[in-house]
Amino acid sequence: METPLPFGWKPLHIDRYDGTTDPDEYIDMYTTQVNLYTNEDVILCRVFPTSLKGTALNWYTQLLAESIDSFSTLVKRFTVQYATSRPHHITSAALASLRQNDDEPLQAFMECFAATSVKIRNLNPEVALHAMFMTLKPGPFVDSLCREAPHDMDELRARATYQWLMDKVFHQ
């Protein structure tokens, strides 16, 4: 705690943590802010209590003296303490429940699929690609994907955008 803060240190620009939101997301925000100045373990530890409030600050003040030997240890203790505040994360199985409706434009379905995909932690790109194949409605676009499979989701998105533009041009 005696380690001086880096030159030009300014207070963090994040809401102080109160124990009611996702601790993993908070640690990501916290480290991103502190890393603007330094990535020194000792500074990460020293500044951490200033980013807490309410019950979270109370938890921190109850830690035994010298029980934290690194920021990694602090993060482990913190995330264990607030594990029940993590939101329920969806899994890749959620993608299997999606279906493009017969009257749903490809672009709208791609946006829905993307919105679900970004909520899945560590989504394997091959799983996402396979799920997309399985959830699209049968038709010319899917036929083109079967004739020449895309290598990855970026290629699939590009082809879907092209298909959407072509549909728009020819249906005007």
The residue-averaged pLDDT of 71-83 equals: 95
13 pLDDT more than 90: no
CA of residue 117 relative to chain centroid, distance: 10
Question: Is residue 70 within 8 Å of 92, Cβ to Cβ?
Answer: no
Pick from 143, 23, 34, 136: nearest CA to 86:
23
Domain CATH code at residue 115: 1.10.1200
Report H helices in 48-139: 54-61, 71-81, 93-96, 106-117, 125-135
Residue 96 has what pLDDT?
87
Report whether pLDDT(172) > 60: no
Print the domain residue range for 51: 23-85
Does residue 80 surpass a pLDDT of 70? yes
Across the range 80-100, mean pLDDT stands at 87
Q: Is the pTM of this model over 0.75?
A: no
Give me 77's structure tokens.
Answer: 């203790």
Residues 80 and 121 in one domain: no
Per-residue pLDDT of 29-76, as tens digits, reads 999 999 988 889 999 999 999 999 999 999 999 999 889 999 999 999
Q: Do 105 and 166 share a structural domain?
A: yes
Number of domains making up the chain: 2
Final residue before a domain boundary, out of 65, 85, 105: 85
Q: What is the percentage of the chain residues whose pLDDT exceeds 90?
A: 59
Q: What is the pLDDT of residue 118?
A: 87
Whether residue 127 is found in the same domain as residue 106: yes
Considering 66, 85, 104, which residue would you say is the last residue of a domain? 85
